[in-house]
Structure 1
Amino acid sequence: MIKFVSNGKGNPIILIHGFCESKEMWITHSKELAKSHTVYCIDLPGFGESPLEQDNITLEEVAVILHDWIEEEGIQNPAVIGHSLGGYVALAMAELMGNDLAAIGLFHSTAFPDDEEKKKTRNKTITFIKKHGVDKFIDSFVPPLFSEQHRITHKNKIEELTALGKKSSKKGVLAYLSAMRDRKDRMEVWKNFLGRKLMIAGVLDGAVKIEGSRMHEPYADDYFELPEVGHMGMFEEEEKTLIIIQDFLSKIG
């Protein structure tokens, strides 16, 4: 069962959070976007209030679950924007649903799979969490998502996101670490998707390197790089990213 909040009227947009996040991360953006759109902020299965029934899950299975939820809610031709893991899910949805999606947006995300170094890091993280638990992992995970200068100016937000991250279930965290590690290359999905495409990248993003983001630009309708920003542009450059998304949505037919 997908837990969500919705607000506003107009063409639908679905906002998908990232790893160890939940629908609450979109509060500010969704409030503004709801002035012109119907905004759905969801919890992925295994995070927030959405339960994960099994111990393991693939991104393909997540896409099917969300497709079923979209049909149950009667949502027609939504735009889907995902942060990090949420972007991986958005691409899996695009592969499954094709023209049933009006647009997709990758917000500090990528169509590329994990390389071998990243897979090793995922495996080390799995081992660490099994031994030490989620809370200790979250303490070290959240601050580096922000660029170094923003770790000072956004100290309160980091504390808030850390507290939210610690609400993540151990089962959900472990399941998605494996799902992200094992996800396939979806660059062809990105290239061939017929709806409008947005990418927002942080020049100082340590999780999604800017060099990889730039390889998506030729196939994007709207591509933006945020200087001095890490992996959390919706907080590090809140006003600017909101304007980018509003402009992107205004161009969807």
Structure 2
Amino acid sequence: MISFTKQGAGNPIILLHGFCETKEMWKTFSVQLSESHTVYCLDLPGFGESSLKASQLNLEEVAVTLHDWMEEQKIQKPIIIGHSLGGYVALAMAELMGSELGGIGLFHSTAFADDQEKKHTRDKTITFIKKHGVEKFIDSFVPPLFSAQHQVRLEEEIATLIQYGKKTAKKTVIAYIEAMRDRKDRFEVWKTFGGAKLMIAGTLDPAIKIEASKEHEAFATAYHELEGVGHVGMFEERELSLEYVQTFLAKASNQMLK
């Protein structure tokens, strides 16, 4: 079962949250975007109120699950924007569905697979969680996603993300770390996907290095860097991020009408 919210009217937009996040992270965005679009915010399988049956999964299976959900909801030609893990899922959906999608957006995400250093870090994280549990992991995981200059100002937002993250089952957290570690490189999907493509990157992102993000620019419909921002620009630079998304959606919607 996929838990989701639906707001507004117009061309459909699907917003996918990141690792150990939930659909609630998009509340501000969904209100604003619903003035011109039908906005779906959903919990990925295993997060929030969406169920996860298996203890092992891969991103291709998640893409198929969301494709089935789209068919149930009769959603046609959506633009899918994903934060971090959500971007990996959006790329897997683009590979699966191709022209059935109107566009994709990578919000602090990447089409590249993990390198060996990143794989090693994920393995260490799994070991930590098995030993210490999800709550202790979330306490140390969430704050550094925000750049140092924004952490004090956004204490409330950090606390909220920690609260939601701690509700995630251990099997879900480990299953998704493994899925991210083992995901395939989809840079060719990014290059060749025929719909509109958005990338928003943070110059101080600790998870997605800005140098890697820059390599996506040549193939993007719209590419933006948020100065001094870490991994969560929808909080750190909310208004500017929203403006970038709105501009992209307006242009993509006009292009689909042609």
One-letter code of the match for 2:96? Answer: L
Query: Which runs of 4 or more aligned residues in structure 1 lie more than 6 Å from their structure 2 counterparts after TM superposition?
Result: none
Residue number in structure 2 paired with 1:218:
218
Is 2:88 the partner of 1:88?
yes
Q: How many residues align?
A: 253
Is 2:98 the partner of 1:98?
yes
Q: Secondary structure at the match of 1:174?
A: helix
Residue number in structure 2 paired with 1:144:
144
- Deviation, structure 1 residue 94: 0.0
Following the alignment from structure 1 to structure 2, what is the Cα–Cα distance between the partners of residues 207 and 61?
A: 24
Q: Secondary structure at the match of 1:95?
A: helix
Q: Flag structure 2 segments of 5+ consecutive residues without an equivalent.
A: none
One-letter code of the match for 1:245? Answer: V
The within-5 A match list for 1:88-237 is 88-237=88-237
One-letter code of the match for 1:76? Answer: Q
- Deviation, structure 1 residue 241: 0.6
Following the alignment from structure 1 to structure 2, what is the Cα–Cα distance between the partners of residues 129 and 138?
A: 9
Following the alignment from structure 1 to structure 2, what is the Cα–Cα distance between the partners of residues 224 and 14?
A: 20
One-letter code of the match for 1:135? Answer: E
Following the alignment from structure 1 to structure 2, what is the Cα–Cα distance between the partners of residues 151 and 114?
A: 27
- Deviation, structure 1 residue 173: 0.4
Q: Secondary structure at the match of 2:152?
A: helix
Q: Secondary structure at the match of 1:125?
A: helix
Residue number in structure 2 paired with 1:58:
58
- Deviation, structure 1 residue 182: 0.0
With 151-160 and 25-34 compared, the bigger mean Cα shift is at: 151-160
Q: Secondary structure at the match of 1:149?
A: helix
- Deviation, structure 1 residue 171: 1.1
- Deviation, structure 1 residue 153: 1.1
Is 2:5 the partner of 1:5?
yes
One-letter code of the match for 1:102? Answer: G
Following the alignment from structure 1 to structure 2, what is the Cα–Cα distance between the partners of residues 23 and 224?
A: 23
Q: Flag structure 1 segments of 5+ consecutive residues without an equivalent.
A: none
Following the alignment from structure 2 to structure 1, what is the Cα–Cα distance between the partners of residues 46 and 33?
A: 26
Identical counterparts, % of pairs: 67
Following the alignment from structure 2 to structure 1, what is the Cα–Cα distance between the partners of residues 100 and 194?
A: 10
One-letter code of the match for 2:79? Answer: A
Give the structure-2-normalised TM-score. 0.98
User: Residues 206-244 of structure 1: CA distance to partner in whole angstroms, max 9, x if unpaired?
Assistant: 000000000000000100000010000000000011111
RMSD of aligned residue pairs (Cα, Å): 0.4
Is 2:39 the partner of 1:39?
yes
Following the alignment from structure 1 to structure 2, what is the Cα–Cα distance between the partners of residues 63 and 128?
A: 28
Give the structure-1-normalised TM-score. 0.99
Following the alignment from structure 1 to structure 2, what is the Cα–Cα distance between the partners of residues 63 and 119?
A: 22
